[in-house]
Structure 1
Amino acid sequence: MPKVVHFEIPADDPERAINFYKEVFGWKIDKWEGEFDYWLVEAGEEDEPGINGAIKPKEFGNMVSDVISVDSYDEFAKKIEMSGGKMITEKMTIPDMGYTGSFQDTEGNILGIIEIFPMD
């Protein structure tokens, strides 16, 4: 069953946001080594319940969003559309990670889906 596996927090000033979340919650935050500005958030210890996430520049969207892991991006994009939702971004490849995109549900909420590539 698909479940929420990641959150994203948009920021006008990512460095300011990083400092805030580090100081307030003690989160570990490191810059992603990928093609665009994105900071990975470790929001607690591995043995604690919950999920990790990221801080992103607002140019990539200005709402906090959750990302749901699916086994087939294309299948779930189709299911979203057929059930009254709307895909709002094109399918994007994250090198060495998987496929992702954003959708709007029937209530206007923006979320993401991700199909993670199988690990060898």
Structure 2
Amino acid sequence: MNTPHNPVVYFEIPVTDVDRAITFYQAVFAFEFEKDIIDGNEMAFFPIKENGSGISGGLAKGEIYKPTTDGCLLYFRTADITETLALAVQNGGKILFPKTSNGEWGFVAEFEDSEGNRIALRQFVR
């Protein structure tokens, strides 16, 4: 199937404590969240710009949501990987893969969030 759209449209990050995860992601990225209960699951939604590029998603707590470092890997854009990694560590995260050059594509890194998920970072070269 040939589609004019990017194939991924939404993500959910499993959490065991929504408020702790909100505090972590607010401290690391300065995101604001909207909370809701959907199908019995506690959710907190990342910001979304209707005409912006990329996708958005939420933090999700419920019986089917289990944090892991072994699952899918999400990349968050950042202007400064070094600063973002420092904020992650200062707020209870740990570095899993240090800032590494991807040549002309910029830099990447990975950290474990407050819930035990592997999260990746991407810093584009300007």
TM-score by length of 1: 0.49
TM-score by length of 2: 0.47
